[in-house]
Structure 1
Amino acid sequence: MATTKAEPGSSQRFEKDTREKIVSVVRHAILLTWSFVVLFPLYWLASMSLKPPGQANTLPPDWVFLPTVYNYLQLFQRSKFVTAFGNSLIMVAASVVLVLLIGVPAAYVLSRYDIPMERDVLVWILSSRMLPPIAVVLPFFFIFRNLNLFDTRIGMVLMYVSINLSLVVWVMKAFFDGIPVTLEEAARVDGATRFQGFRKVVLPAAKPGIYSVAIISFIFAWIELLFGLVLTNSKAVPVTLYVYSFIGSRSIEWSMLAAASMAMIIPVAVFLILVNKYLAAGLSFGVVLKE
C-alpha cells in the first residue's frame, strides 16, 4: 500500500507554529509571575488594612479572614489625619500647577531660542537635584524662618516647586526638541503669533510630556517626608508626616499604618487613571520625530 510523503513546507510551518506557541506561553508565564511579584506587596498592605488591629501582624499571616473597615473609620475620625490629607492635596496640586506654569515655558525657551551658555544653564538647573535633601534642608529651614514661611502652605508649595522644577525643564526640553519647528513656521505663515503657535500647535503636541511630568511631580511631592518633617510644625503638616507618626519608638500600629498608606495611594491612582492614555507615550518620549 503506497503512503504519501509529508510536504517539507507543512512540517516546517508546524514546527514554527509550535515554537511560537511555546514562546507565547513562556512569555505570558513570565509576565504573570512578575505581575504577582510586583502586586503582592500592595495586596499585603491592603489585606493588613482590612484586618482587625490584633490580627494585622500575626505570623504566620491569616490568609482567610473577615474584612473590616474599622481601621479606615478610626483613621478618618482623627481630625489631624483629615487635616494633613487636605494639606497635602492642596499643597501638592498647587505645586504641580505652578511648576508646570514655570517649567514648561522655560523649557520651550531653552529649546527654541539661542541662549548664551545654554549648556551651562541646563547643568545649573540640573545641579539643584544633585545634592541630597539632607544637605540642603537646614539652609532652607533658616531661609523659611527668616521669610516667615515656616509651617505655611505657601512655603511647602515653593519647596515642592524647587524639588520638581529641574525635572520638568529637562524632560519638557526633550519633548520640545522633538517637535519640528516647521509646525510653528506654518502657523506663523497662516497669521499666528509666536505665542499663538506655542499655545495652539506646540502645547497640544507636547501634551503627553506635560501629563508625564505632572504625574511624576505629583508623586515626588506627595511622598516627600524630610522637608515636611523639618519645615512644618502644626499648620501645614503633610500626610506623609502623619503616616510616619504611626511608627512609635516602642511599637508600630500596623493596621492603622496600612490603612493610612492605602489612603495615600488613592489620589495617585486616580491621577494615573485620568492621564493613563497620555502616560505611556509621554514616558517613552515619543511625541513627534524631528525632521
Structure 2
Amino acid sequence: MNTPSPHEILGVSTTASFEEIKVAYRRAARATHPDLGGSEEAFKQVQQAYQVLSDRQSPDAFDRSFQAPGQAPRAGYAARPYDERLRTNTQQPKAQLPTEYVPPLDDASFTALDAARSQQRMHGEPRKRGLFAARSRLTREAVAINLLSKNLLTVLPAARLVTGLHAPGGGHYDHVVTAGYRMAVINTMMLPEGYYSYDGAVLRHGNKLTQPPVIQISGMQRAFMQMNVAAYTLVLAANGNHHEPVIEYRRNAEPSASASQNVVNAATLVRELKLFLGSGPSPNVVDREVLARLLGGMY
C-alpha cells in the first residue's frame, strides 16, 4: 500500500498556493483532531504534511509563502494599505537581500544607537515586573524567544526582536518584532492542547470559554507613525507542540485591520510573521531610530 503524499493528505493539488494549503490544513486539522472524533495518528499525519509543504515554500519559493495573488495580508494593513503584487520571477526575495541600515552604520551624526546594538538581532530578556515574578510568564517569554530566534530571525535578516517593553498608555508588551517598516506586538498565553474556535473575542473549547488578553496597539501606532503595527497573541501548548492548540477562526472573525489582534499557535505565528514582516515595504531595512526608541522603552 502506497503512503499518501502530503498533498493527498491535505487534499490539495501539487500547484496549490500557500494560502490554499493553509486553508486545507485547517479543514483537515478540524476533521482529524482527537477532540472532534478524529484519531491522534491521523492528526499527526496532517501536521506533518502541513510542515513538509510549508517548508517547501522556503527558500526557493520564499516570496510565494507570503500571500496568494491579489490577496492582502491577514493583519495590520489598515495603517498602510497593502498594494504590493506577488513576484513570480526568480530574483532573490527583498526580505533576504543584504541588510540596510537607516541611517547607515557609518553615519557619525547618529548617536542614538551604536553600530553593535544596531546589528544585534535580539534585545532584552524575560524578567520580573515589580516585586514579584510570574514564573509562567517568564517561561512563556523564553519559549517565544527561542521560537522566533530559530524560525524567524534566521529567515528575515533585518528582523529585530525586543523583549520587555512598556506599552504606551500603560501595561507591557512581551515582545516586539520589526522588519523594514512593519512592527508586530506579541503577548503570550498558555492553554491545554486541543481544538479551539475563536469568534474575535473568546476562545471556545467545548463548554469552556477563555478570553485572550487584549493587546492595545493604538498608542504604539501613534508613536511610530512610519510603521505598520499589528498585534498577535501567541497561544502555547503545555506539551510543546507548535501545532497545538488548533485555533479555528469563526466566520467574520478573521482580523481585518491593524486594531484587530491575531490569536495563533506557534506554527501559525511564525508563518504569519513571515507574511506580515517579510512582504512589507523594504523588509531588509533596519530603521535605527525606531530600534533606538524601542530599546529606550524597555523596562
The answer to whether the superposition gives a TM-score over 0.5 is no
Q: Which has the higher contact order (CA 8 A, sep 6+)?
A: 1
TM-score tier after normalising by the smaller chain length = under 0.3
Between Structure 1 and Structure 2, the one with more helix by share is: 1
Q: Between Structure 1 and Structure 2, whose CA radius of gyration is higher?
A: 1
